[in-house]
């Protein structure tokens, strides 16, 4: 661990609903085993908070978030049917004007997934507004809007993420010639954003990117795409890496970052010591990368890979460990390497 004279960066932790408190406790335990450079500030948000207090994102929580450099979300219910409830995750991202979503796909062990992949995917942050449905007597028309402003922010963020992570090339996955106007807006902003960068750039249709991933995934190490096309690429990369429910998601594009695991509350597993905390632990890694503590994030990632490689896993990943035993193992591996 680092020396006590370091001024800790404040990070807001919102554990949320369902299995959120369990997996985020795991993330904090692992985080605190590798660094003193982060001060965790605890706050409430989500559906359970709404049912207890009538607020899904209390003022006290907003105050804590405002004084933090990053936010760690657990699992909040984004689609609850309770009247008046809104996803606090989406609200926080909008509050900080975070426009882009970042995922890093790689295999945790050779026996996982359908192929080899080591690539970043940067897309627009999903906000539910990119496609609008209009019904008539004969059916439904789905209209999609491509904004030059959003494309500009997306491409600039992608360049920054690629440069920070020392990637050699960015591949733009555009709509293809069948949607020429949409393609032209995105490619124009991409070319402008990449001017002067040492990172090489290439452009191809999202279908060609998917074909490349299926035949030779290592040729594509960094992809940027709109929300709609990014969903298709995301599905392929998830299958290649075998990373369903173990991915961290980072929302960036402003001065702060918001990070969460890529799964929901899983209410049926709450309190049973059986949920896989890998996604939450790697979410803490993504936050460390963002706050300038990448070496600490790498230490945790290496520990997780070692555990998976040697067969130490929770039941959903083919092992026999519970949530807490797996967490203790990762802490032990981190301490051995620290």
Q: Could you read off the pLDDT of 69-93 as tens digits, one per residue?
A: 999 999 988 777 788 888 899 899 9
The residue length of the chain stands at 338
> Domains of the chain, with CATH numbers?
1-100+246-338 (3.40.718.10), 113-241 (3.40.718.10)
> What does the mean pLDDT of the chain come to?
91
With 0.85 as the threshold, say if the pTM is over it: yes
Give the tens place of pLDDT for each residue, 175-220. 998 889 999 999 999 999 999 999 999 999 999 999 999 999 888 9
Rg (CA), the chain: 20
Give the tens place of pLDDT for each residue, 94-127. 999 898 999 999 999 999 988 889 999 999 988 7
Task: Spell out the residues 6+ positions from residue 152 whose beta carbon is closer than 8 angstroms to its own.
Answer: 189, 192, 193
For residue 222, the SS3 value is strand
- Kindly give the residue spans of alpha helices, DSSP state H, lying in the chain: 20-34, 47-53, 59-66, 88-95, 148-164, 180-193, 206-215, 227-241, 278-290, 294-309, 323-337
CA distance 316 to 321: 9
């Amino acid at each position: 661990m680092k020396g006590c004279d370091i001024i800790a960066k404040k990070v807001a932790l919102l554990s949320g609903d369902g299995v959120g408190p369990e997996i985020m406790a795991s993330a904090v335990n692992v985080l605190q085993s590798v660094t003193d450079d982060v001060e965790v500030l605890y706050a409430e948000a989500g559906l359970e908070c709404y049912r207890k207090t009538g607020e899904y994102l209390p003022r006290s929580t907003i105050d804590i978030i405002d004084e933090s450099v990053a936010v760690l979300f657990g699992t909040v219910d984004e689609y609850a049917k309770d009247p008046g409830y809104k996803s606090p995750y989406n609200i926080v991202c909008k509050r900080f004007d975070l426009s882009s979503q970042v995922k890093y796909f790689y295999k945790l062990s050779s026996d996982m997934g359908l192929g080899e992949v080591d690539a970043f995917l940067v897309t627009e942050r999903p906000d539910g507004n990119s496609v609008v449905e209009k019904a008539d007597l004969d059916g439904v028309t789905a209209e999609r809007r491509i904004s030059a402003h959003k494309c500009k922010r997306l491409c600039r963020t992608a360049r920054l993420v690629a440069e920070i992570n020392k990637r050699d090339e960015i591949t733009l996955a555009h709509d293809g010639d069948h949607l020429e106007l949409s393609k032209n807006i995105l490619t124009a902003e991409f070319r402008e954003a990449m001017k002067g960068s040492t990172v090489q750039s290439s452009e191809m249709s999202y279908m060609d990117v998917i074909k490349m991933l299926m035949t030779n995934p290592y040729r594509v190490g960094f992809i940027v795409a709109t929300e709609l096309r990014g969903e298709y690429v995301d599905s392929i990369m998830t299958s290649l890496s075998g990373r369903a429910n173990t991915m961290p998601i980072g929302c960036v594009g402003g001065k702060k970052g918001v990070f969460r695991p890529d799964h929901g509350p899983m209410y049926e597993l709450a309190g049973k010591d059986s949920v896989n905390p890998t996604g939450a632990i790697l979410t803490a890694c993504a936050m460390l990368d963002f706050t300038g503590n990448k070496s600490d994030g790498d230490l945790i990632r290496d520990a997780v890979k070692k555990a998976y490689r040697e067969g130490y896993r929770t039941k959903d990943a083919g092992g026999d460990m519970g949530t807490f035993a797996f967490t203790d193992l990762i802490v032990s591996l981190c301490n051995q390497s620290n």
